[in-house]
Amino acid sequence: MKSDNPRWIALQIVLRVVDNGRSLDDIFSSSWYQSLTASARDLALSRELAFGLCRWYFALSALLAERLQKPLRERDRDIEIILLLGLYQLLVMKTGAHAAVNETVNLAKAQQKSWARGLINAVLRTVIREGVALDDEMQAQAYPDWILGRIGRDWREQAEQLLIRGNDRPPMTLRVDTRQSGIDEIIARLAADGIEAVRHKRLHCAIELPSPCEVTRLAGFAQGLLSVQDAAAQIAAGLLLCKPGARVLDACAAPGGKTMHLLQQYDDILLEALDSSESRLERLQQNLARIGKPAQLLVGDASKPDSWFSGVYYDAILADVPCSASGVMRRHPDIKLLRRESDIMPLLALQRRILDALWRLLKPGGEMLYCTCSIFKEENEVQIAKFMQRHPDCMEVKITDLDWGQQRPHGRQILTGSDNMDGFYYALLSKPGKP
């Protein structure tokens, strides 16, 4: 049955990304994907193919275009994706030539397009004959032009490395609730279950699993001892210091990675978790239930507090704003296909409105931590420079006593892959005055 074939499933996934603009996360949690009857192993292969093809889509498309006499018709997008899947298996997965060609031809048959057999044979056999390899030039081609342009402008010297690191498969990083358990104890417990884990180089509460595994296999996950969180995201809770009794707002909170960390790190804080997405807040609720910590959940737009603000000002605010997510492309390679350059201006405007609105809700003496999972300067240091011009009362708290990322004119930037972390940006802002 074709719906049991991992390559056919991967084809359907990538078509949904390319044609319908749906994200991989969204597709994997859809009823269509959940109802597939393929074995766990085949489903894992379908995900590997879909993730991998999104990661290499632009480089492989360029390679394919050079080897086609004329572009394929719009209605033959499936054949185009089938060819790209064939190239991915050959060049990235290093599948044997015979198997890769056969599987690719079979996929065209499953789509009832046997006419494409000759084309598939010709393209794949040419690439095999030419001995094409994924070199540094192809790494740089694995991005849409507008992202290449921005990275080149923003990080001219680091651009090449940044592009290569952005194509890496990310590690599965876990945060250990070190108040419940020591890191070595957790690593030993995982080892006893046959799961290899190593300490993260910089973050004291982070461990990395060289081979990812299902969270259900992680002893202590169900009790909140462990949470999946990139090391860069684990920095937030240590920067936003919260005293007992503090009123804390997590303004763009879902699905709650940083909310959980704040609640596990600080005792007796009153935390409000706000998000504009009700469905994402449901996931946050489930996460809080898992770790057994309470927070008040609010649905609303952070840039329009009138509809949700109770009138009691905050001691600390976390503004983990919506952004381009350009720092997490290695983790979510579909971003390369889904994000458009035209998304950036509206995002910058929303970030600006959120910053301005939240600043008004901060008590004198309070601190606001602004962060993004972006590597674009406009969303980060430039956004904060403009904010500080609009709010001369704002004082930046320099994040200096740490050895991650790099100091910028405002805030600190982690570039993708540095210390094996996602690309992230932090700026800590303080409102003068006594609480």
Ligand X SMILES: C[S@@+](CC[C@H](N)C(=O)[O-])C[C@H]1O[C@@H](n2cnc3c(N)ncnc32)[C@H](O)[C@@H]1O
Distance CA 207, CA 199 (A): 4
Q: Is 320 helix (H, G, I), strand (E, B) or coil?
A: strand
Selected catalytic residue, list 54, 242, 373, 394: 373
The residues with which 428 forms a beta bridge, in sequence order, are 369, 397
What single DSSP character describes residue 73? Answer: P
Provide the minimum distance between the beta carbon of 76 and ligand X in the complex, in angstroms, as a whole number.
36
301 near ligand X (CB under 6 A):
yes
Query: In the bound complex, what is the minimum distance in angstroms from residue 125's beta carbon to ligand X?
Result: 45
Per DSSP, 294 falls in state -
What tokens were used for 168? Answer: 């890496």
Sole binder of ligand X in the list 67, 189, 280, 386 (CB under 6 A): 280
Query: Is residue 283 involved in binding ligand X (CB under 6 A)?
Result: no
Does 203 engage in binding with ligand X (CB under 6 A)?
no
How far apart CA 326 and CA 422 sit, in angstroms, is: 9
Rounded Cα distance between 82 and 111, Å, is: 10
- Interface region with ligand X, contact rule CB under 6 A, candidates 250-258, 328-336, 388-396, 416-424: 250-258
Region from 31-39, 202-210, 272-280, 332-340 binding ligand X, contact rule CB under 6 A: 272-280
Q: DSSP secondary-structure letter at 205?
A: T
26 binds ligand X (CB under 6 A): no
User: Taking a C-beta distance cutoff of 8 angstroms, is the pair 231, 203 a contact?
Assistant: yes
240 or 337: whose CB is closer to ligand X? 240
Contacting range for ligand X; rule: CB under 6 A; set: 51-59, 70-78, 199-207, 273-281: 273-281
**According to the binding rule CB under 6 A, does residue 320 interact with ligand X?**
yes
Whether omega before 435 lies within 30 degrees of 0, making that bond cis, reads no
Taking the C-alpha atoms of residue 237 and residue 266, their distance in angstroms, rounded to an integer, is 9
Counting contacts by CB under 6 A, is residue 230 touching ligand X?
no
Using CB under 6 A as the binding rule, whether residue 302 contacts ligand X is answered as yes
DSSP labels, 19-50: HH---HHHHHTSHHHHT--S-HHHHHHHHHHH
The count of chain residues that interact with ligand X, using the rule CB under 6 A, is 18
Among 63, 242, 253, 375, interactor with ligand X by CB under 6 A:
253
Residue of the chain from 277, 382, 391, 419 that contacts ligand X (CB under 6 A): 277
423 interacts with ligand X by CB under 6 A: no
Question: Which lies closer to ligand X via its Cβ, residue 6 or residue 423?
Answer: 423
Shortest Cβ 164–ligand X spacing (Å): 25
Query: What is the secondary structure of 316-335 as a DSSP string?
Result: EEEEE-----GGGTTT-TTH
- Mask of contacts with ligand X, 33-72, x by CB under 6 A? ----------------------------------------
Instruction: Give the distance, in angstroms, between the CA of residue 140 and the centroid of all CA atoms in the same chain.
Output: 19
Q: Which residues pair with 172 in a beta bridge?
A: 209
394 catalytic residue (yes or no): no
The maximal CA–CA distance of the chain, rounded, in angstroms, is: 76
Footprint of ligand X (CB under 6 A)? 233, 252-258, 274-277, 280, 301-303, 320, 322
Q: Which residues are catalytic?
A: 373
